[in-house]
Amino acid sequence: MAEVVGTFRKSSYSGQQGDCVEVAPTADHGRAVRDSKQQHGPLLIVSRDGWQAFLQQFA
């Protein structure tokens, strides 16, 4: 699994009712995504190319 190397931060698209997604960089320049209500729960690890493709959908 990719190592998380940065601080998780809340997505600007997250709602105000606690339905939050947090994202942090990984050592291989990808991203780790988690549910803010389950900070010790599972992570979704996305490769650098996968993250770039995701961002392109909203550009």
Q: What is the pLDDT along the chain (59 residues), one digit of tens a residue?
A: 789 999 999 877 776 777 788 999 999 999 999 998 898 999 999 999 999 999 999 87
Structure tokens, 13: 């698209």
b/e per residue 45-58 (b: at least 16 CB within 10 A): bbeeeebeeeeeee
Rounded distance, CA 19 to CA 43, Å? 16
3-state secondary structure of 31: strand
Q: Please measure the distance between the N-terminal and C-terminal CA atoms of the chain and give it in whole angstroms.
A: 28
Sole residue written with tokens 């909203």: 58
Query: What pLDDT was estimated at residue 52?
Result: 95
Query: What pLDDT was estimated at residue 33?
Result: 95
